[in-house]
Amino acid sequence: MKKDIGKIPAIFPMPVLMIGTYDENGKVDVMNAAWGQVCDNDRIILSLTESHKTVKNIKLNKAFTVALADRVHVEAADYFGIVSGNNAEDKFERTGYHAVKSDKVNAPIIEEFPIVMECELAEIIDTESIYGIVGKILNTKVDESALSENGKVDVRKLDALMFDQFQSGYYTVGEKVATAWNAGLDLAKRNR
């Protein structure tokens, strides 16, 4: 039997995304955002609040980067979500992290995070229900240590964080339990 627990967005896992931008002075700003996802083969959407400094920076530069935070960098990832760039001018510098300018867009790549998507602003969706930043992914860079023998990203090596909205926790990926588009083939064949 299921129990009512109220209006809770019951989506798990949620990503732990590090959104990198430059402000009007070329200063690095990084924000932790869990409300983001792929919305097409070359697009990502971030559901953000318009008042974030990151949103202002994206509008200014028409570009941003999206990195996946990992276990090793959980402290800084959480910090980027706690402290607002609107209130702390030296937010990024306090971490001691390093940034390099993307060669694809006018946005920073935070060197410590293992994988990053370089995005140009595609559109802003502003309705009663959503304020969404849609980015066109121009390129993805990944640390070689997170690649498998076949040259693809290995999520176990990536050790990316997932956010648990139920218990306010961070988790990482466990074991692989099945192969997508394969695990259900027998059931699909039986039901033809």
Phi, psi of 59 (to 5 degrees): -60, -40
User: For 159-169, how does the pLDDT look when each residue is reduced to its tens digit (9 = 90+)?
Assistant: 999 999 899 99
Closest CA to 17 of 162, 189, 187: 162
Given a contact cutoff of 8 angstroms between Cβ atoms, the answer to whether 36 and 45 are in contact is: yes
Phi, psi of 139 (to 5 degrees): -165, 155
Query: Architecture of domain 14-190 in CATH?
Result: Roll (2.30)
Mean per-residue pLDDT, 91-96 = 95
Judged by average pLDDT, the poorest of 71-75, 76-80, 173-177 is: 173-177
Q: How would residue 192 be classed by pLDDT, with cut points 50, 70 and 90?
A: confident
Sequential DSSP letters for 82-117: HS-TTT-TTTTGGGT--EEE-SSSSSEEETTSSEEE
Mean per-residue pLDDT, 163-182 = 88
For residue 185, what pLDDT is reported? 87
Residue with tokens 């920076």: 57
Structure tokens at 104: 């694809």
Q: What percent of the chain has pLDDT over 90?
A: 81
Predicted confidence (pLDDT) at residue 191 exceeds the cutoff of 80 = no
Q: How would residue 187 be classed by pLDDT, with cut points 50, 70 and 90?
A: confident
Question: Which SS3 state, helix, strand or coil, does residue 56 take?
Answer: helix
Mean per-residue pLDDT, 126-149 = 96
